[in-house]
Amino acid sequence: MLKNDLILKAARGENTERIPVWLMRQAGRILPEYRYVRNNVAGFKELVKNPELICEVTLQPVDILDVDAAIIFSDILVIPEAMGLNYEMIESKGPFFPETIKSQQDVDKLSIDVVAQLHYVFDSIKLTKNALNNRVPLIGFAGAPWTIFSYMIEGKGSKTFSNAKKMLYTNPELAHQLLQKITSSTIAYLQEQIKCGADIVQVFDSWAGVLSKAQYLEFALPYMQQICDAIKDVPVILFAKDAHYILNEFNETNCSVIGLDWTIEPQKARSEAPTKTLQGNLDPCVLYADKSNIKKETEKMLQAFGSQKYICNLGHGVYPDVDFEKAKYFIEVVKNFKTDN
Amino acid sequence: MLKNDLILKAARGENTERIPVWLMRQAGRILPEYRYVRNNVAGFKELVKNPELICEVTLQPVDILDVDAAIIFSDILVIPEAMGLNYEMIESKGPFFPETIKSQQDVDKLSIDVVAQLHYVFDSIKLTKNALNNRVPLIGFAGAPWTIFSYMIEGKGSKTFSNAKKMLYTNPELAHQLLQKITSSTIAYLQEQIKCGADIVQVFDSWAGVLSKAQYLEFALPYMQQICDAIKDVPVILFAKDAHYILNEFNETNCSVIGLDWTIEPQKARSEAPTKTLQGNLDPCVLYADKSNIKKETEKMLQAFGSQKYICNLGHGVYPDVDFEKAKYFIEVVKNFKTDN
């Protein structure tokens, strides 16, 4: 029924006639049409809770950039909020949690019945799915349990997330309890996204890179596995930024796709995760270059990944100061590319 | 002549009767005695330019923590300042450059005759070397050219250093000119540190991790190699944080030691850099744990690296809120450890 299901075919390991492509953070940030919408609401969170506007900004990159998928515009931090931990989005600074999780009591107070509170996301998905009219798949998403945990303990962005990591070393039992609650909430959240129309889901482990491999194996991977095991109806993409050491282990999960940041060589990823479809991984800064260099860098990457079991993307979200014409050109280059293999 | 030259022996690949240990950022940060000194000067930069106080804070960890080396207390950003680009150190925020490098003219204006302007570092080294009275070696250091470049373009700390990276993609020739000027200054700076008494030097590539391997090979490694080739009289330690992809290439340089962050498995490092001495790499957050867990995690690491061609350290600078008694205990554990191999 989908007119363009290239991303789903690639995710399932089926042959695709050309390489599919989308951009992390394609909805928002670089599009003037997004900024217009954003400037006409009181704040970021008002936008995230407005299904009509979400639908509008989610469709913008499909119309303007001609990407092969839409990704629902939302925020990974809706989960802690639905669990009972409110946050503010502070302009040009990022998220801030007035209260953070410190004790057993704090963890006990958190709810895992998040679905009812996240109706605005599900309404947005239904509306968007309808408006997309089967042009391209709709991607749902959530933050990975470790990343959500990091924010709930640290209370804001951090270079080291040393407070969050401190709990792993000083109170691992409590850390596991909180991670489990986040995981249960996230599974329910993703399952409801799928029920409402998400064709594929991505789990973003944005702060994976602050963990050692041993800590990732103990405090992050088991929860990623639970999510992969619970989502049976659509493909799951796992993206653990800067966790260069985890490809072998991700290859053993039930995920369909592994997202890669730009520090991972395509050959290394192919050899360490041979059974999975790979996604990524152009350095977002390549989009600052002129068109001939964008073409050169992109084609070098496409050639290295090959045309099958591959979804083209950046290695992280597109940076806010990138000219959207450059992003559009990148998409064109991918669509016009013919690999040798 | 040195009473304890374990670190130098390990760096040269010679047998050591026990594993030597020091801490990145051991001078400053966690010691109450440091904070006392720091609170009695107007600012961080006043401290950095005061040889008597530098000598005092450089010796503190040798006296208090009983580490196997002193590292001169200073700042990597004295190099851009000596080249003509001033910076401010803003309390609890970090460095800020009122002017940044944007054009050919900006690069042309920079001086590479930095030695005369850095007399306060050299005076500090002479004073400290004398005060150390040959108890342990004195480590000199500098920022890696890529990391210094990042600050000179970006003007402050950044999660992505996207402005600095932008120049690599939009004006690589100018980037190389600036990197070469930084490298020439850094070599002169390190050579003078050695002349004044530094027994070994470390080059800190703190922002290596924002580069892809291809970019590191083009814009960082050649300058690291120049430094290694120019420093002939003492061992050189290369530490490129988060550059997990570069161990094979560092193994081919003339460095003596490769520093590792905590995301690198000891076995992987041994196999990819078999000819070098390795340094690192305990997760700094382990020092938040109780003593029994500090011992367990430290001994697991020591066992994995083995007793030879190894200098124990954290995988990054010690975090400011670590209890110095825990750091002291970590040092004790290393000194008392007997490996099986």
pLDDT tens for the 341 residues of chain A, in order: 999 999 999 999 999 999 999 999 999 889 999 999 999 999 999 999 999 999 999 999 999 999 999 999 999 999 999 999 999 999 889 999 999 999 999 999 999 999 999 999 999 999 999 999 999 999 999 999 999 999 999 999 999 999 999 999 999 999 999 999 999 999 999 999 999 999 999 999 999 999 999 999 999 999 999 999 999 999 999 999 999 999 999 999 999 999 999 999 999 999 999 999 999 999 999 999 999 999 999 999 999 999 999 999 999 999 999 999 999 999 999 999 987 65
Query: What mean pLDDT is predicted for residues B39-64?
Result: 97
For residue B239, the one-letter residue type is F
Please report which confidence band the pLDDT of residue B340 belongs to, taking 50, 70 and 90 as the band edges: low
A183 - beta bridge partners?
none
- Return the domain boundaries, chain A: 6-283+305-316
Q: Which of A67, A4, A3 has the alpha carbon at shortest distance from A31?
A: A67
pLDDT at residue A269 in the model: 98
Verify whether residue A151 is a known catalytic residue.
Answer: yes
Is residue B271 within 8 Å of residue B303, measured between CB atoms?
A: no
Verify whether residue A75 is a known catalytic residue.
Answer: yes
Is residue A277 within 8 Å of residue A10, measured between CB atoms?
A: yes
Which are the contacts of B332, defined by CB distance < 8 A and separation ≥ 6? B66
Copy the structure tokens of residue B46: 């006043």
Copy the structure tokens of residue B80: 């851009």
- The whole-angstrom distance between B132's CA and the closest CA on chain A is 33
Mean confidence (pLDDT) of chain B: 97
CA–CA dist A194, A196 (Å, integer): 5
Residues of A whose CB is below 8 A from B290:
170
B340 against A121, higher pLDDT: A121
- The whole-angstrom distance between A286's CA and the closest CA on chain B is 6
CA–CA dist B144, B211 (Å, integer): 13
- Cβ atoms within 10 Å of B63's Cβ, excluding its own: 12
Burial B224-262 (b: 16+ CB within 10 A, else e): bbbbbebbeebbbbbbbbbbbbbbebbeebebbbbbbbb
CA–CA dist A153, A102 (Å, integer): 7
The class level of CATH for A6-283+305-316 reads alpha beta
Which one-letter DSSP state was computed for residue B315?
S
- The whole-angstrom distance between A225's CA and the closest CA on chain B is 21
Which of A165, A212, A267, A321 is the best mutation test for B, with the most CBs of B within 10 A?
Answer: A212
Rounded to a whole number of angstroms, the distance between the first and last alpha carbons of chain A is 29
Query: At residue B333, what are phi and psi to the nearest 5 degrees?
Result: -60, -45
CA–CA dist A70, A4 (Å, integer): 11
B6-336: CATH topology is: TIM Barrel (3.20.20)
CA–CA dist B271, B277 (Å, integer): 12
pTM metric for this prediction: 0.97
Query: Closest-CA residue in chain B for A242?
Result: B242
Rounded to a whole number of angstroms, the distance between the first and last alpha carbons of chain B is 29
Q: Which of A89, A70, A73, A66 has the alpha carbon at shortest distance from A18?
A: A66
CA B299 vs. chain centroid, Å, equals 24
Q: What is the four-CA torsion angle of A310, A216, B29, B301, rounded to 10 degrees?
A: -110
Verify whether residue B38 is a known catalytic residue.
Answer: yes
Please report where in the chains the tokens 């014409």 appear, as a residue: A325
Query: What mean pLDDT is predicted for residues B212-238?
Result: 98
Q: State how far the alpha carbon of A64 is from the alpha carbons of A20, B183, B293, in Å.
A: 16, 44, 54
The 3-state DSSP class for residue B258 equals strand
For residue A203, the one-letter residue type is V
pLDDT digits (tens, 9 = 90+) for B143-164: 999 999 999 999 999 999 999 9
Is residue A56 within 8 Å of residue A131, measured between CB atoms?
A: no
A70 - beta bridge partners?
A138
- Cβ atoms within 10 Å of A212's Cβ, excluding its own: 24
Helices B32-39 and B51-64 pack at an angle, to 10 degrees, of: 170
CA–CA dist B214, B235 (Å, integer): 27
Is residue B133 within 8 Å of residue B70, measured between CB atoms?
A: no
Residue B200 above 80 pLDDT?
Answer: yes
Q: Which of A339, A330, A237, A338 has the alpha carbon at shortest distance from A285?
A: A330
Antiparallel, parallel or unpaired: β A277-282 and A94-96: unpaired
Please report where in the chains the tokens 């992809």 appear, as a residue: B245
Verify whether residue B34 is a known catalytic residue.
Answer: no
Residue B341 above 70 pLDDT?
Answer: no
Is residue A38 within 8 Å of residue A89, measured between CB atoms?
A: no
Cβ-Cβ pairs closer than 8 A, A with B, add up to 86
CA–CA dist B147, B238 (Å, integer): 13
Of B170, B209, B212, the CB nearest to A283: B212
Question: Could B263 and A286 be called an inter-chain contact, meaning their C-beta atoms sit closer than 8 Å?
Answer: no
Residues of B whose CB is below 8 A from A166:
285, 288
Question: Could A285 and B245 be called an inter-chain contact, meaning their C-beta atoms sit closer than 8 Å?
Answer: no
Of B159, B170, B213, the CB nearest to A263: B213
CA–CA dist B263, A165 (Å, integer): 14
pLDDT at residue B92 in the model: 85
pLDDT at residue A36 in the model: 96
- The whole-angstrom distance between B129's CA and the closest CA on chain A is 33
Percent of chain B with pLDDT over 70: 99
Before A341, cis peptide (omega within 30)? no
Is residue A181 within 8 Å of residue A153, measured between CB atoms?
A: no
Verify whether residue A38 is a known catalytic residue.
Answer: yes
Strand segments, DSSP code E, in chain B are: 70-71, 88-90, 94-96, 138-143, 200-205, 236-240, 257-259, 277-282, 310-314
pLDDT digits (tens, 9 = 90+) for A101-110: 999 999 999 9
Question: Could B288 and A319 be called an inter-chain contact, meaning their C-beta atoms sit closer than 8 Å?
Answer: no
Using H for helix, E for strand and C for coil, what is the string for chain A?
Answer: CCCCCHHHHHHCCCCCCCCCECCCCCCCCCCHHHHHHHHCCCCHHHHHCCHHHHHHHHHHHHHHCCCCCEECCCCCCHHHHHHCCCCEEECCCEEECCCCCCCHHHHHHCCCCCCHHHHHHHHHHHHHHHHHCCCCCEEEEEECHHHHHHHHHHCECCCCCHHHHHHHHHCHHHHHHHHHHHHHHHHHHHHHHHHCCCCEEEEEECCHHHCCHHHHHHHCHHHHHHHHHHCCCCCEEEEECCCCCCHHHHHCCCCCEEECCCCCCHHHHHHHCCCCEEEEEECHHHHHCCHHHHHHHHHHHHHHHCCCCEEEEECCCCCCCCCHHHHHHHHHHHHHCCCCC
Chain B residues with a Cβ under 8 Å from any Cβ in chain A: 157, 159-160, 162, 165-166, 168-170, 209, 211-213, 215, 242-245, 262-265, 268, 283-286, 288-290, 293, 315, 319, 321
Query: Closest-CA residue in chain A for B163?
Result: A285
CA–CA dist B173, B166 (Å, integer): 13
pLDDT at residue A341 in the model: 55
Copy the structure tokens of residue B235: 């061992």
Of B170, B265, B285, the CB nearest to A169: B285
Burial B92-128 (b: 16+ CB within 10 A, else e): eeebebeebbeeeebbeebebebbebbeebbbbbebb
Is residue A289 within 8 Å of residue A297, measured between CB atoms?
A: yes
